[in-house]
Amino acid sequence: MRTILIEDEPHILRMMERIIQTEPTFKWMGSFNDPIKALAFLETQDVDLVFLDIEMPHMSGLDLAKKLPPTTQVVFTTAHSRYAVEAFDVQATHYLLKPITEEMIQDLIPRVMKRHESILQSEQHRTCTIQCLDNFSVKTQDGDLVKWPTQKTEELFAYLIYHRDKVVNKWIIAETLYPEIDEPQRALHNVYNLVYRLKKTLADYDLSISVQTINNGYSLHLDEVCGCDYHDWLDANPKPSSQAEMNRRLFVDKDYTWH
């Protein structure tokens, strides 16, 4: 399992490094004494397991854990048992009280491996992964990027993803995606072509996503086997970040003006 350590006490960090690096179950990817730097690393790297101190400067381990994807396991390490309830509120795999020993980590391995296998099994059933936060992308189960026939086709897909399962009127789509076209019928004709291209692209990549025509509008639906980080945020309770922060991070590499 790809593993990192986040701990602000240097001697504990070095000790845990030695244990993790010698255990074949773990693939050590790095150690951090600053949670902000660790979070930046996690935004660019896929990590299976994080050993995470709770009391740290700048950001608590509990707050950092709320920003991690659900497929990343967290094992909290702390000197204070009073955090146990909060730790499991963020679905931590386990909770270790300092001082950490090699025996404690060895005893932990069956638990994290069992959960890791369960996560892998659920991931294997996914037919696509949609990333809306920061850089927008759609990947197949094989990790291939979906290539859209036109930028507008991609934008229509993003627009319908944003309006999750809602029926969006075709005239609103025409006005939103083609504000520069003064002739409504011509704009609407373009929308019809976009919908055709979108449905064909989804079928070509065999994605478990459907576009339905309902009452002069369109609705996009994802099957459970297709994951989307923005929809994960919509489903989260409590929300790991505010609506304002979410809007700031949505589609940042695109020039969409409608969200």
Confidence of residue 88 (pLDDT cuts 50, 70, 90): low
Cα(184)–Cα(188) distance, rounded to whole angstroms? 6
CATH 1.10.10.10 for the 128-249 domain, yes or no: yes
pLDDT (0 to 100) of residue 177: 97
- Does the pLDDT of residue 96 top 70, yes or no? yes
Task: Please give the pLDDT value at position 238.
Answer: 78
On whether the pTM is more than 0.85, the answer is: no
Is the pLDDT score of 85 beyond 70? no
Domain ranges of the chain: 2-124, 128-249
- In this predicted structure, the answer to whether residue 236 has a pLDDT above a threshold of 80 is yes
Give CA angle at 252 (247, 257), nearest 5°: 65
8 by Cβ neighbours in 10 Å (0-12 / 13-18 / 19+) ranks as middle
| Mean pLDDT (whole number) for 14-29 | 93
Tally Cβ neighbours within 10 Å of residue 105: 19
pLDDT in tens, 33-62: 999 999 999 888 889 999 999 999 889 998
Cα distance between the two ends of the chain: 37
Q: Match domain 2-124 to its CATH number in 3.30.2420.10, 3.30.565.10, 3.40.50.2300, 3.30.230.10.
A: 3.40.50.2300
What's the per-residue H, E or C state across 45-80? CCCCEEEEECCCCCCCHHHHHCCCCCCCEEEEEECC
Cβ contacts of residue 15 below 8 Å, gap of 6+? 100
Backbone angles phi, psi at 27, to 5 degrees: -110, 100
Q: What is the pLDDT of residue 136?
A: 95
Confidence of residue 126 (pLDDT cuts 50, 70, 90): low
Strands annotated E in the chain? 2-6, 27-32, 49-53, 73-78, 94-97, 128-131, 137-140, 168-169, 209-214, 217-222, 226-228
pLDDT per position as a tens digit, 128-148: 889 999 889 999 887 889 999
Say if 2-124 and 128-249 have the same CATH topology. Answer: no
Where is pLDDT greater, at 100 or 172? Answer: 172
* Kind of pairing between the strands at 128-131 and 137-140: antiparallel
Q: Which residue has the higher pLDDT, 206 or 158?
A: 158
